[in-house]
Amino acid sequence: METDLLVSICVLTYNSSEYIIETLDSIKNQNYQNIELIISDDCSFDNTVILCTQWINLNRDRFVRVELIESLQNQGVTKNCNKAVRACCGEWVKPLGGDDALHFDCISKYVDYIRNNPDMQIFHSGLLMYKEKFDAECFIHGWGYCNHPMYSSNISSNQQYKFCLYGCFVNTPAIVVKKTLYETVGYYDEEIRDVEDWPFYLKVTKLGIKIYYLNEYPVKYRVRAISLFNEKRVDKLFNQRYIREKKIYQKYIYPYIGWYTKLLLVYQYCIKRTFDRFELNKNTFWSKNLYRILTIPFYYLMFLSLKMKKLDRIETVSNPSLI
């Protein structure tokens, strides 16, 4: 296999000292050689930066180029992602959380997929979910989208955009993006401080750019019982991300949907707020089944809405400034 394609791996860290070495070692052990490593730290107050510096001093020669970006103050996930991406020199960019890891042949599989799809600009793959540790006994399950209608062979980017209006159906820990696409779309939206992915996919698909899916599972995603931002929790039915997504709905979704669809989304939001308020957001038998019963109307009506193409009036645009 040719190895002339430069892939930039962006490791995004914030108080990641417990796991960062495992993450970096998984990158070092890739059987694909032409890799650039960018580490962007968002003002960690543990020893993440010290560990990264020591590791780089020992492993710098493994990579085409290595850069460690430090921040004097915490700026949030979105700005940290943009700093890392802008520093990349590779043709393709693979963002990676500072507590996740790659299977040894991850980048090789990604490069093969890129070469087999020359018109592709963005794709993601499946991932393997683990509780706390990447050990066999800690394995939860794989998470993929091979049977999701958003990735059927004949779907258009406009149809994908309609799906994205209902939620983020993309494995962000397994996303890979062509560097020029960031320049076209305008990078991640820094007005939304701690949710970088969903607005980006909305902008991409609205521009008429299709998101591809590779049915492989080369990324290891760590689900933690306790997380600073409460993003990865095994003891909850859902995390608190939906609260921070309120601005996404106001800017990217509500202006482009009808009252019926808006009502469905507000209904789902109210269910989650109610579960949090009455301390029902627990991964227990009763809470789980109650949540499923209450959200059945949302998913059923969402399916009918998409099936009847109620959003056909939405069109893609060719000018990113119009988004």
Could you write out the three-class secondary structure of 106-135? HHHHHHHHHHHCCCCCEEEEEEEEEECCCC
CA 44 remoteness from chain centre = 21
Which of 167, 189, 223 is where one domain is finished? 223
Residues above pLDDT 90, as percent of the chain = 67
Q: What is the CATH number of the domain that holds 136?
A: 3.90.550.10
Per-residue model confidence (pLDDT) at position 225: 61
Do 107 and 253 lie in one domain? The reply is: no
Average pLDDT over the chain, rounded to an integer: 88
Residue % of the chain over a pLDDT of 70: 88
Domain assignment present for 28: yes
Q: Within this chain, do residues 185 and 256 fall inside the same structural domain, yes or no?
A: no
pLDDT of residue 316: 33
Count of domains in the chain? 2
pLDDT at residue number 40: 98
Query: Does residue 120 fall inside a structural domain?
Result: yes
- The residues with which 69 forms a beta bridge, in sequence order, are 40
176 close to 117: Cβ distance less than 8 angstroms = no
Task: Please indicate whether residue 247 or residue 27 has the higher confidence score (pLDDT).
Answer: 27
Residue 249 to residue 255: CA distance in whole angstroms: 8
Q: How far apart (Å, rounded) are the C-alpha atoms in residues 12 and 188?
A: 14
Co-location of 113 and 217 in the same domain: yes
Query: Is 197 in the same domain as 301?
Result: no
Question: Do 150 and 248 belong together in one domain?
Answer: no
E strand segments, the chain: 7-13, 35-41, 65-69, 92-97, 101-102, 122-131, 139-143, 175-178, 212-223
21-66 pLDDT, tens digit per residue, is 999 999 999 999 999 999 999 999 999 999 999 999 999 999 999 9
Q: Mind listing the pLDDT tens digit for each residue in 104-134?
A: 999 999 999 999 999 999 999 999 999 999 9
188 and 60, same domain (yes or no): yes
Query: The domain containing residue 49 runs over which residues?
Result: 7-223
Q: Does residue 236 sit within a domain?
A: no
Q: Residues 245, 181: one domain?
A: no
Convert the pLDDT of each residue in 186-236 to its tens digit: 999 999 988 999 999 999 999 999 999 999 999 999 998 654 334 555 678
**Residue 235 maps to a domain:** no
Q: What is the pLDDT of residues 170-192, one digit of tens each?
A: 999 999 999 999 999 999 999 99
Same domain, 303 and 206: no
249 and 218 in a single domain? The answer is no
**103 and 217, same domain (yes or no):** yes
Give pLDDT, residue 92.
99
Residue partners of 26: CB distance under 8 A and separation at least 6: 101, 102, 103, 104, 220
- In-domain check, residue 36: yes
In this structure, what token pair is assigned to residue 152?
A: 């059927």
Q: 20 and 155: one domain?
A: yes
The predicted structure's pLDDT at residue 313? 36
Looking at the structure, tell me whether residues 42 and 151 fall in a common domain.
Answer: yes
Domain end, chosen from 193, 223, 253, is at 223
Q: 75 lies in a domain?
A: yes
Question: Is residue 188 helix, strand or coil?
Answer: coil
| Final residue in a domain of this structure, among 223, 252, 273 | 223
